[in-house]
Amino acid sequence: MQVISTVSELRIRLGNERAIAFVPTMGNLHEGHLNLMRLARELGDCVAASIFVNPLQFGPSEDFDKYPRTLEADCAKLQGLADVVFAPSINEMYPAQQTVFVEPPPVANELCGATRPGHFRGMATVVLKLLNIVQPQVALFGKKDYQQLHIIRQMVAQLDLPVRIVGGETLRATDGLALSSRNQYLSDAERGEAIFLYQMLQGLRQNILQGERDFERLQQQAVEALIARGWLVDYVAVRNQSDLQRASPVQGGLAQRELVIMAAARLGNTRLLDNIEVCLID
Ligand code: PAF
């Protein structure tokens, strides 16, 4: 495995590769990332990962400075899984002030975008840069960041980028908590409580599968349940998988509907994100 920190060296290394499968990350790797790397191996001849904590996608009061940077440990985890790791400095990625950005679709201002203004613009900009630098045939992203995956798919489709985007299933701890680099910020007590987010999503999914279609009420009840247990809630939302627009209560016509229930909420200083897909016939 080669660890490369400059764009020019990376281009030389990848120049003759014909089937690159690429997993962009911000490092601090956990089993969820490693699972994406294993999936990448099935999809390409050369597996590349990037490790870059992208300042453009953090707001001024967010955890950019505190975000764990664990390059050595990350590279040890990637041994045997990746062929190439691209780990650029901020200066390498942004040698001049970045004044050109990807303007993401309007849904980027809702859900996570409502409390993280500019986040998806910074994320989409760095992902476009990374795709241009690595030029993979396939790029993989976790479904835990469902809105991120949606925006990347839209960017790739609408800007005609020659890459296939693959979403990897969310990996969970044995108690159900979605694996995330931010879980390590949780105190023991918070870690115990954190599983409630997924339990709540499972409960909503069950209600919908049993016929409940008043999504507004379900969302409201879920928010109240979280608040009662000490969570600070950003949103709980039932959306269409295809466009992330609000799911309408009644579809009619016995169509198959693919919905996703998404939630983001804070426990103490830690913001947790999760979602669950629901398929039903209405
Ligand atoms: O999901 C992440 O880790 C980041 O948002 C990404 C896609 C690597 C862009 O910085």
Torsions phi, psi for 255 (to 5 deg): -90, 155
Per-residue confidence (pLDDT) for residue 282, from 0 to 100: 81
Q: Which domain holds residue 13?
A: 2-168
Same domain membership, residue 143 and residue 273: no
Q: Which atom of ligand 1 is nearest to the CA of 53?
A: 10
Q: Ligand 1 pocket, 127 CB below 6 A?
A: yes
Paired residues of 85 in beta bridges: 3, 49
Contact call for residues 37 and 78 (beta carbons, < 8 A): yes
Per-residue confidence (pLDDT) for residue 255, from 0 to 100: 75
Q: How far apart are CA 78 and CA 68, in angstroms?
A: 17
Domain-located, residue 137 = yes
Number of structural domains (the chain) is 2
How remote is the CA of residue 27 from the centroid of ligand 1, in Å?
A: 9
Cα 271 to chain centroid, rounded:
13
Per-residue confidence (pLDDT) for residue 250, from 0 to 100: 74
Q: Which pair of structure tokens corresponds to residue 107?
A: 């849904």
Q: What is the CATH number of the domain that holds 222?
A: 3.30.1300.10
Contact call for residues 68 and 184 (beta carbons, < 8 A): yes
Q: Ligand 1 pocket, 36 CB below 6 A?
A: no
Q: What is the CATH number of the domain that holds 79?
A: 3.40.50.620
Q: Which pair of structure tokens corresponds to residue 214?
A: 């008043």
How remote is the CA of residue 122 from the centroid of ligand 1, in Å?
A: 10
Per-residue confidence (pLDDT) for residue 63, from 0 to 100: 87
Q: Which pair of structure tokens corresponds to residue 215?
A: 């999504």
Chunked into runs of 10 residues, the chain (282 residues) has average pLDDT values of: 98 97 98 98 98 97 93 98 98 98 98 97 98 98 98 98 98 97 95 98 97 96 98 98 92 81 97 97 82
β-sheet with 138-142: strand ranges across = 2-4, 84-86, 46-51, 20-25, 138-142, 164-168
How remote is the CA of residue 146 from the centroid of ligand 1, in Å?
A: 12
Paired residues of 84 in beta bridges: 2, 48
Which of 30, 33, 119, 150 is an active site residue? Answer: 33
Paired residues of 66 in beta bridges: none
Per-residue confidence (pLDDT) for residue 252, from 0 to 100: 65
Ligand 1, atom 1, residue with closest C-alpha: 25
Same domain membership, residue 159 and residue 237: no
Q: Which atom of ligand 1 is nearest to the CA of 50?
A: 8
